[in-house]
Amino acid sequence: MFATTAFLSGCFDKDVAVTPYPRGDVQEIVAEMGPTYENEIFVSLDENRVVKTVSKMVWDISFSSEPGNKTIRINTGRVMYAAKTSFTELTQVKDTAGLDFRWDYSGGSDDSTALFEWWNSDNVWVLNMGMDADANGLGLIAIKFSMDLEDLHFSWTELGKNNVQSGTLKKDDRYNQVYFSLLNNEVADVEPVRTDYDLIFRQYLYYFADHDLAYLVLGAVLNDRETSAATVFDKNFGDIAGADTTDHALSSRWDVIGHDWKSYSIDKGTYTTNPDMNFMVKDQHGFLYKLHFTDFYSNTGEKGYPKMEFRKL
């Protein structure tokens, strides 16, 4: 028995020690959205930094850069809605009578967008352009889309008017989506290179099924591609380890982290974060992190400054 064991062990190289990557200490990031929640904040966990800050007012629609993907999204952070009309000419649309307005669901699926399957008809759509930073309505637009190879073309006019304008969005695989401002008639510079960030802090519409209500919330959503997350509410933050993915499956649903790590007290008029709501995030490089939220206020007491703690697993 001993001789056989000695022979077999001689067939393999000796184990080579592998230096583990450094986990580091607990780190923190503050997403400075501001008291009106106007800013969209792109965050990299690997680099522990805010990669980019952009106003939610600079864009209205986005177009997927994924080859072959025809998905168009609307800016629900501004409470935008879309409805399909029975008309095929922009100037035929005079009002919103009988229209069924919809929004993009926060889970991120292409088939849960308000403009889903726009390519299957020649119909005009109406966009409710939502609100500005002071909650003033931005009006209604009649719009029509078409594609030429991988380029998205669109023409639009204010509802009931004949001031037709046109624009184009070209796919760019450096980014998850490319963006356009219909209000300013220009391509909008919104997201960073898609491999440079993991989370976006922003406002979006969330559907509360119990109340059959879409409500504007502030939360953290995942990078469109190659980022995933899981909730870990049954362990303390300090006890979470990488092996916990066995019991807490990672999901690519955009709003896994979402908005309800904080709660609002009507009586006190204040927000409270819940540090016992923990999350695991797998980033663009395949590293796992645990994170939770510890505050929603700035050092001067202004709301709209969510702070999270995180650590590489």
What are the tens digits of pLDDT across the range 13-49?
444 344 445 566 899 999 999 999 999 999 999 999 9
Q: What is the pLDDT of residue 245?
A: 87
Q: How far is CA 108 from CA 105, 222, 246, 305, in A?
A: 6, 9, 24, 24
Output the pLDDT for position 22. Answer: 54
Closest of 229, 259, 281, 248 to residue 106, by C-alpha: 259
The whole-number pLDDT of residue 256 equals 97
What is the rounded (10 degree) CA torsion for 299, 301, 306, 312? 30
Beta bridge partners of 44: 49
Closest CA to 95 of 103, 104, 86: 86
CB 26 within 8 A of CB 313: no
Q: What backbone torsions phi and psi does residue 91 show, to the nearest 5 degrees?
A: -75, -5
| Rounded Cα–Cα distance for residues 203 and 152 (Å) | 26
- Name the stretches of the chain with pLDDT < 70: 1-24
Identify the pLDDT of residue 201: 98
Q: In this structure, are residues 50 and 43 in contact, taking their beta carbons and an 8 Å threshold? A: yes
Local structure of 46: helix, strand or coil: coil
Residues 6+ apart with CB under 8 A from 284: 46, 195, 198, 223, 226, 227
In degrees, rounded to 5, the angle at the alpha carbon of residue 93 between the alpha carbons of residues 87 and 95 is 130
Whether 170 and 178 have beta carbons less than 8 Å apart is answered as yes
